[in-house]
Structure 1
Amino acid sequence: MHPSLQEEQKLLQLKAEALRLKLLSNQMRRQQEASEHDIWGIVSSLPKAGLLWRLANMPHKVRNKFILGAGLLALLYLRF
């Protein structure tokens, strides 16, 4: 094979390897961002779970009044 053809082939192989590494790094970055987003979703839902737990442990009268008030507020919000 001619020396210039060998150099061209080697250059193309290096470009292909660089493109493969760039694609791999982008894929890894997307996976890392997705895992961070999943963790953030779990962490952001913790206060909601705590609120539900406290609501479940309230006395029946207080809990029923709270649920009734929330329902009336939702009804007013949806009506207007």
Structure 2
Amino acid sequence: MHKSLQQEQQLLQLKAEALRLKLLTNQLRRQQQQSESGLWQMASQLPRAGLVWRLANMPRKLRNKLLLGGALLAVIYLRF
């Protein structure tokens, strides 16, 4: 009977360890997902007005070339 209690105690310890590891992996997954979404949120909040202002103040020839290149890239992207 003494061996049976020891085996049961070891089994419970193994189950507790497995549960602890499962909780830890879930916590790490959650943190990874939050950090990925946090980077996306930061990137989406970058000021776009600065880019528009710089484009508006560029020389006309360069500005037109950049706009035409962007439009061509958009057409190519949407076509495929």
Verify same fold: TM over 0.5.
Answer: yes
Q: Which runs of 5+ in 1 are unaligned?
A: none
Task: Report the TM-score when normalising by structure 1.
Answer: 0.65
- Structure 1 residues 36-74: Cα deviation after superposition (integer angstroms, max 9, x where no partner): 111011112223xx22x454xx6xxx9xx69x6332x33
Counterpart position of 1:14: 13
Runs of 4+ off more than 3 Å: none
- Correspondence 1:36 to 2:35: yes
Q: Give me the whole-angstrom Cα distance separating, in 2, the residues matched to 1:74 and 1:16.
A: 56
Structural RMSD (CA): 2.9
Q: Give me the whole-angstrom Cα distance separating, in 1, the residues matched to 2:25 and 2:73.
A: 44
Q: How many residues align?
A: 67
Aligned residue runs from structure 1 range 1-80, under 5 A:
2-47=1-46, 50-51=47-48, 53=49, 55=52, 69=68, 70-71=70-71, 73-74=72-73, 78=76
Q: Give me the whole-angstrom Cα distance separating, in 1, the residues matched to 2:21 and 2:11.
A: 15
Counterpart amino acid of 2:38? I
Q: Which runs of 5+ in 2 are unaligned?
A: none
Q: Give me the whole-angstrom Cα distance separating, in 2, the residues matched to 1:74 and 1:29.
A: 39
Task: Report the TM-score when normalising by structure 2.
Answer: 0.65
Q: Give me the whole-angstrom Cα distance separating, in 2, the residues matched to 1:74 and 1:35.
A: 32
- SS of equivalent residue, structure 1 residue 13: helix
